[in-house]
């Protein structure tokens, strides 16, 4: 049976990558220090070829082989190499199929290897047997600092073994055990270890069902531990009882800087307890409470704390239904707080009053740089208020207004603000309804604005007219690097071939735009041909997304030709375009040719 073009391309790509591996990593190459081959299907054959090359190469320090279908055979070969190689310090084998047998081999290598500092084995089905083997290696290994074991089903037994190893290991600083079903027993064992371990600084226990009991044990450990700076406990069935215990620990702990409690159920009682702790704690800088049902009462308590707390810089309260009362309280706190730089209030039903209050706070606040108001029913009136704030605010660099109800009037107001604001770098207006008039207004602003680098308008009904206006702006704008105009399938909102032609003309002279997303816009083969011509001279664009645009084989052939002369584009997405076998083969041949011309760079085409 004949393989579809995509599979044929993948096979060809695998052959090329194998050759790149051997030639780039051999002993005569003294310049290459980093080789990134993630997601290239090199398989066991490629891993074996690399392993041989690395036995003599003494310069390559960083090797990324993530997501490459490497099985235990490939892992065994790499393990043998690690026993003698003295250069490699970083090895990523995440998302492969090395299993417990491959992990056992790597563990043996770690007992003698004295250079590897970072090893990622995430999503490799290593199981408890693999964890036990690694634990034994950690008892003698004195160089490994970072170990990633996420999504490996090591279970309680694996966690217990690692806990024992960490009682004597004094070099491992970062351990990722997310998604491993370690349960409360695993958390209890690790907690005992943390009471004496003085090396581990980052511990990820997310999605492990440790519950309140496991959290209580960790809290006790935090009262004595003086090394841990980051603790991730996402989605662990932690309720208010666990939050209360952590709060008590935070009153005395002087090292923890990052606490992630996303997707738990601490409720308002948990939020109140944490708020009290933060009134005296001077080290915690990042707190993630997303989706914890803290409600308005929790937001009010945290707001009071922010009036005096001088350490917290990042606060995520997304999906907590704080309502307008919570937003009003936070706004008051922001008028005096001088340290919080990032605030996430996504999906909180803050309403008009909440948005207006935040706008007033932004007029005087001099610390906040990132504000996320995604999905809060913000309309034109609130957008006008935010726009007024942006005319005087000089610190906010990122404003996320995605999935709200901003129409052309709101877009016009924001556009006026952009004509004078010199600090906002990222504006997300995706999934609103600013229309072509809004796009025209933003385009006028881009002609004079010298700060905005990213403008996201995915799902906006800007149509051909909006695309033409933005194209004119791009001819003179010298700061915008990222533009997302992807459609969501509405026929009336498509930029069409005329929009693509206009954007192509702009790309012939624009020297700053690096990312352009035109997905689902019916640009057709004519649009693809025009973009291809632009790519022959454009020297800035690195990422072009054209999925679902009906470009056909003619469009694919034109793009293939353009890629023979273009030396900057590294990522091209042509998914769902019916390019056929002929188009796929043309792209495959072009990619082969480009890799022959420049073996130090990785090019990616998806179709």
Segments making up each domain of the chain, as ranges: 519-607
Residue from 508, 500, 509, 506 nearest 529 by CA? 500
DSSP of 11-36, one letter per residue? HHHHHHHHHHHHHHHSTT--S--EEE
Query: What residue ranges of the chain have pLDDT lower than 70?
Result: 1-30, 489-492, 599-603
Sign of the four-CA dihedral 106, 110, 113, 119: positive
Cα separation, 184 vs 199, in Å, equals 23
Is 230 buried (19+), middle (13-18) or exposed (0-12) by CB count in 10 A?
Answer: middle
Q: What superfamily in CATH does domain 519-607 come from?
A: Ribonuclease Inhibitor (3.80.10.10)
Q: What angle do CA 345, 351, 357 make, to 5 degrees?
A: 75
Per-residue pLDDT at 3: 32
Quick one: how far is CA 503 from the chain centroid? 28
Asked if 108 and 80 touch (Cβ cutoff 8 Å), the reply is no
Q: How many CA atoms lie within 13 A of 430 on its CB side?
A: 17
Per-residue pLDDT at 10: 37
Per-residue pLDDT at 16: 47
Cα separation, 541 vs 560, in Å, equals 16
Per-residue pLDDT at 32: 87
Per-residue pLDDT at 592: 85
Cα separation, 595 vs 509, in Å, equals 27
Q: String of b and e for 282-297 (b: at least 16 CB within 10 Å)?
A: eebbbbbbbbbbbbbb
Residue from 274, 288, 335, 278 nearest 310 by CA? 278
Residue from 586, 561, 602 nearest 9 by CA? 586
pLDDT, tens digit, for every residue of 363-399? 999 999 999 999 999 999 999 999 999 999 999 999 9
Per-residue pLDDT at 1: 31
Per-residue pLDDT at 595: 75
């Amino acid at each position: 049976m004949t393989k579809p073009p995509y599979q044929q391309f993948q096979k060809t790509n695998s052959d090329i990558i194998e050759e790149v591996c051997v030639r780039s990593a051999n002993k005569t190459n003294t310049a290459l220090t980093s080789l990134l081959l993630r997601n290239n299907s090199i398989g066991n054959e490629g891993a074996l070829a690399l392993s041989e090359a690395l036995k003599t190469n003494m310069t390559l320090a960083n090797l990324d082989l993530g997501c490459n279908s490497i099985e235990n055979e490939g892992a065994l070969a790499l393990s043998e190499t690690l026993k003698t190689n003295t250069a490699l310090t970083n090895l990523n084998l995440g998302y492969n199929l090395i299993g417990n047998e491959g992990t056992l081999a790597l563990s043996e290598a770690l007992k003698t290897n004295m250079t590897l500092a970072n090893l990622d084995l995430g999503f490799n089905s290593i199981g408890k047997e693999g964890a036990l083997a690694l634990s034994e290696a950690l008892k003698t290994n004195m160089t490994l600092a970072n170990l990633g074991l996420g999504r490996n089903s090591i279970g309680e037994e694996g966690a217990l073994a690692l806990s024992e190893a960490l009682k004597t290991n004094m070099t491992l600083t970062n351990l990722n055990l997310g998604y491993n079903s370690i349960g409360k027993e695993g958390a209890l064992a690790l907690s005992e270890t943390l009471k004496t371990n003085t090396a581990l600084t980052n511990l990820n226990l997310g999605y492990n069902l440790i519950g309140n009991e496991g959290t209580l044990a960790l809290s006790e450990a935090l009262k004595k531990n003086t090394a841990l700076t980051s603790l991730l406990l996402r989605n662990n069935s932690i309720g208010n009882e666990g939050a209360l215990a952590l709060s008590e620990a935070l009153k005395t702990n002087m090292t923890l800087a990052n606490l992630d409690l996303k997707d738990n159920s601490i409720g308002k009682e948990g939020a109140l307890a944490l708020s009290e702790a933060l009134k005296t704690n001077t080290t915690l800088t990042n707190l993630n409470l997303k989706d914890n049902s803290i409600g308005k009462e929790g937001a009010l308590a945290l707001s009071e704390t922010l009036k005096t707390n001088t350490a917290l810089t990042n606060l995520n309260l997304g999906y907590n239904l704080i309502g307008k009362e919570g937003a009003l309280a936070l706004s008051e706190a922001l008028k005096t707080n001088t340290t919080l730089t990032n605030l996430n209030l996504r999906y909180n039903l803050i309403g008009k009053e909440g948005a207006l209050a935040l706008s007033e706070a932004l007029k005087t606040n001099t610390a906040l740089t990132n504000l996320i108001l995604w999905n809060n029913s913000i309309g034109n009136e609130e957008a006008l208020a935010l726009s007024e704030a942006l005319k005087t605010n000089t610190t906010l660099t990122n404003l996320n207004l995605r999935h709200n109800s901003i129409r052309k009037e709101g877009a016009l107001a924001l556009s006026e603000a952009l004509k004078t604001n010199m600090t906002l770098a990222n504006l997300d207006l995706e999934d609103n309804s600013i229309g072509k008039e809004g796009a025209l207004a933003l385009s006028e602003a881009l002609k004079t604005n010298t700060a905005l680098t990213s403008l996201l308008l995915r799902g906006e009904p800007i149509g051909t007219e909006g695309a033409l206006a933005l194209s004119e702006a791009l001819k003179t704008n010298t700061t915008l690097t990222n533009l997302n105009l992807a459609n969501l399938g509405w026929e009336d909102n498509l930029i069409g071939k005329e929009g693509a032609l206009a954007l192509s003309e702009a790309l012939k002279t624009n020297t700053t735009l690096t990312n352009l997303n035109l997905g689902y816009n019916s640009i057709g083969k004519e649009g693809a041909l025009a973009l291809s011509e632009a790519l022959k001279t454009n020297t800035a664009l690195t990422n072009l997304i054209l999925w679902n645009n009906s470009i056909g084989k003619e469009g694919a052939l034109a793009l293939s030709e353009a890629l023979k002369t273009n030396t900057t584009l590294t990522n091209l997405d042509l998914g769902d375009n019916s390019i056929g076998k002929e188009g796929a083969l043309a792209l495959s041949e072009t990619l082969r040719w480009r890799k022959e011309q420049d073996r130090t760079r990785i090019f990616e085409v998806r179709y």
